[in-house]
Amino acid sequence: MPVSDLDLDNSQTLEALQDLLPGFVYQLRMTPDGHFDYPYVGEVAERWFGVDREALKKDAGPLLDCIHPEDREAVMRSTMESVEHSQPRNREFRMQCRGNAVIWLSAYDTTRRLADGTRVWTGFATDISASKELEASLRQSEAQFRALVETASDVIYSLRPDRVFTYVSPNWTENLGYPISAAIGHSIDEYVAPEDVPACDAFLQRIAETGQKDSGIEYRIRHQDGYYRWHTSSVSPMLDEEGQVTAFLGIARDITERKATDAQMQRLAHYDPLTQLPNRTLFYQMLDHELTGARREGQQVALMFVDLDEFKPVNDQHGHAAGDLLLRLVAGRLLGSIRESDVAARIAGDEFVVMLPRFHSVEESRAQAAAIGEKIRAALAKPFDCAGPEVQISCSIGIALFPLDATDGPALSRAADAAMYVAKNAGRNQMVVYDRAVHGAEALGYRGY
């Protein structure tokens, strides 16, 4: 049977089908001698590629030559492979249009073999350039996002509504030491410090309830080596059409250094940088707090003023470095002489104070304060090795009792200061317990809270 008489698809049927599709319908034929022609090709192909439909019925070359040079070999190979396997094929490739413009086609066809060995492919092709451009744009956006995530110093993460990690950025490993696989599928609660878990849970619950982004939560998170680092997170909820949270997307920043700096600033504001004892500001805050509790519980508090004797000559004779070392050594001996519940502070150059709380009676507070005061006096009377010169000093100590001698902090301080000056004026290296009848007038000389 001659090829022209083959039982090919009716052209009218293909034309009707062409009207229903956004691209063009085609029927490609290969004769046993390897010649290609198009018994039918939709008129869209003529408009897109500038080919003559009638000429294609004799020779498929003009349209096949429009296949992009970089894709032609793959397209022809897949065409012949479909003959071998008699399977439908769906492939994507580029075509060159008029004016050298390039479009992407998606072609789907089926193949059949006629009795004389002729091969026929019947199918359709559509322009997918827009979707390919979108794919390329998405790939570029994904690549940019991936580069941003992978180079960001912050940790980017996502959680399921039950707080389980579904994603962590590579900086998770750099910041916390764990491999990414250790996080995925695990709850964030496994890594957050137990004391901080309730606050983190409440933070995420608030976001889930409001459906609004929130930020500023600070928490400690465990490093693989066992210690904790400080993080702060901003979290946005991912919502479904009904407004229900399907995920949390978070960005966590390591603020460990900032927290350390804040702690150091707090310490500088409240502690003496030389001796590391509480400074005047912190000590009197602590005293007020302790007196409030003692007043409520009916307890006694003793306040002790400790002033070093002959400290100035140490600076004059051995230099300020020796004087600073001496003050640090004095602080150490003070701490070694008092109870764990007591508080020692440095409030001026060579002036120290000690608060002795939690006594249950006047007799107990007087006796314990006198005993601790004598212990301090004896400790400070021993020689000090100031990195070379041996230094001998002493101290004058004044003690006042709350509420026996005063009912508030300023008055208690005036009484202790007055007793200390009595000790100093009496020859130094002494301890004096305030007595209102004897020292009341001298208390007026106190220099302020």
In the three-class reduction of DSSP (H, G, I as helix; E, B as strand; rest coil), residue 251 is classed as strand
**CA-wise closest residue to 311 among 398, 428, 413:** 428
Distance in angstroms (rounded) separating the CA atoms of residues 300 and 310:
33
C-beta atoms surrounding 2 within 10 Å: 6
CB-based burial, 98-117: b 16+ in 10 Å, e otherwise: eeeeebbbbbebebeebeee
Which pLDDT score is estimated for 4? Answer: 42
Distance in angstroms (rounded) separating the CA atoms of residues 162 and 165:
9
Which pLDDT score is estimated for 387? Answer: 83
What is the residue-level pLDDT of the chain in tens, covering all 449 positions?
A: 344 444 455 565 666 555 556 789 899 999 999 999 999 998 889 889 999 999 999 999 999 999 999 999 999 988 888 877 767 778 899 999 877 899 999 999 988 888 898 999 998 899 988 888 888 777 776 666 666 656 567 898 999 999 999 999 888 998 999 999 999 999 999 999 999 999 999 999 999 999 999 998 999 999 999 999 999 999 999 998 888 899 999 999 999 999 998 888 888 889 999 999 999 999 999 999 999 999 999 999 999 999 999 898 888 888 889 999 999 999 999 999 999 999 999 999 999 999 999 899 999 999 999 999 999 999 999 999 988 888 999 999 999 999 999 999 999 999 999 999 999 998 899 999 998 767 664 443 334 34
Which 8-state DSSP code applies to residue 9?
P
**CA-wise closest residue to 66 among 83, 51, 82, 88:** 51
Which pLDDT score is estimated for 241? Answer: 86
Which pLDDT score is estimated for 103? Answer: 92
Q: How long, in residues, is the chain?
A: 449
CB-based burial, 135-170: b 16+ in 10 Å, e otherwise: eeeeeeeeeeeeeebeeeebbbbbbeeebbbebbbe
Give the gyration radius of the chain's Cα atoms: 45
Dihedral class, residue 434 (left if φ above 0, else alpha if ψ from -120 to 50, else beta)? beta
C-beta atoms surrounding 19 within 10 Å: 8
- Numbered ranges of CATH 3.30.70.270 in the chain: 271-445
Assign domain 152-259 to a CATH class: alpha beta
The runs of H, that is alpha helices, within 271-408 are: 280-297, 312-318, 320-337, 362-381
In the three-class reduction of DSSP (H, G, I as helix; E, B as strand; rest coil), residue 250 is classed as strand
- Numbered ranges of CATH 3.30.450.20 in the chain: 3-132, 152-259
Q: In angstroms, how far is CA 190 from the centroid of its own chain?
A: 16
User: How buried is 325 (Cβ within 10 angstroms: 0-12 exposed, 13-18 middle, 19+ buried)?
Assistant: buried
Which pLDDT score is estimated for 389? Answer: 83
User: What kind and span of H or E run contains 64?
Assistant: helix 61-64
Q: At what angle do helices 320-337 and 362-381 cross, to 10 degrees?
A: 140
- DSSP annotation string for 168-208: E-THHHHHH---GGGTTTSBGGGTB-GGGHHHHHHHHHHHH
Could you tell me if 395 and 378 are in contact, meaning their C-beta atoms sit under 8 angstroms apart?
Answer: no
pTM of the model: 0.53
Which pLDDT score is estimated for 92? Answer: 92
CATH topology classification for 3-132: Beta-Lactamase (3.30.450)
**CA-wise closest residue to 287 among 269, 302, 267:** 302
Please name the CATH architecture into which domain 271-445 falls.
Answer: 2-Layer Sandwich (3.30)
Which pLDDT score is estimated for 247? Answer: 94
Read off φ and ψ for residue 307, nearest 5 degrees: -115, 125
